[in-house]
Amino acid sequence: MQKIWTDKFTVRTYEVNLFQELDLVHLLNRLQDAASRHAETLGFGWQNMQQKKQFWVLLRFLVQINQIPVWKQQLQLETWPKTADALAAYRDFLVTDADSNMMVKATSMWLVLDAETHRPVRMSNVLSSLEHTSNRVAIEEKPAKVILPQESDLMHHSEILYSDLDMNLHANNVSYIRKVLDSYPIDFLKVNKPASIEINFLKEAHFGQKLSTFLHSPLNSKEHILSLQNNDQVFLTVKLIWKNGNK
């Protein structure tokens, strides 16, 4: 069993944006797919958890982008379980280029829920041992809680569609981020690129649900707090830090 999962890949045409850079949504898909495949080899994959009537839930994600990968670039993605506490397990990620330069680093926080009660399961009952974890660290701090300021501006309305659904018939984690990014004015995205994103997944969304994207910061700032909401229910909070770069 591999303590550290390693995956080499090339950035494909369908993964890049209009600037020939790896789109943030596809980057997050890459990270989560690697985590899923590694969990399978460790005996904690989707099918294993189904047999136990349990499932993993991604609660928080922090991704820091040193340099955005570009079209045709060859990359190496590494991921590993790091630590666990009473109810949460933590997993880190590192993306490097062909010369071992750090491109992206990330850390994530996961819960295991009982499929019948939807209550968290204690990690001591999920991970019989921690022998497959690593002492290696990509990001020292744990993903934090994103606090919403009271002020907000409505950016966009959206709906959970068939293409948003995952194997559990919930909206896929990454589909939330796609809806947030699609809420931005194109003129903003033409001159800014993400430097980091911190995500709190708070509530499951289902087919047909209406969601609204709110911006809780001035659009002309470089640090944005956003949320996806339905009436008084908050499904997602995000802290996005932008930097100049696109022309």
Identical fold between 5-126 and 153-244:
yes
Please enumerate, as own/partner, the contacts of 16-25 that have beta carbons within 8 Å and a separation of 24 or more.
16/70, 16/71, 19/193, 19/246, 20/70, 20/71, 21/68, 21/69, 21/70, 21/71, 21/193, 22/68, 22/69, 22/70, 22/71, 22/73, 24/177, 24/181, 24/194, 24/197, 25/174, 25/177, 25/178, 25/181
pLDDT class for 247, splitting at 50, 70, 90?
Answer: low
Separation CA 172–CA 104 (nearest Å): 22
pLDDT class for 89, splitting at 50, 70, 90?
Answer: very high
Looking at residue 162, what is its pLDDT?
Answer: 96
Which residue ranges make up each domain of the chain? 5-126, 153-244
Looking at residue 176, what is its pLDDT?
Answer: 97
Domain at 153-244, CATH homologous superfamily: Hotdog Thioesterase (3.10.129.10)
Does residue 133 have a pLDDT over 70?
no
Looking at residue 137, what is its pLDDT?
Answer: 93
pLDDT class for 84, splitting at 50, 70, 90?
Answer: confident
- Which residues neighbour 87 within 8 Å (Cβ) at sequence distance 6 or greater? 111, 120, 121, 122, 123
The CATH number of 5-126 is: 3.10.129.10
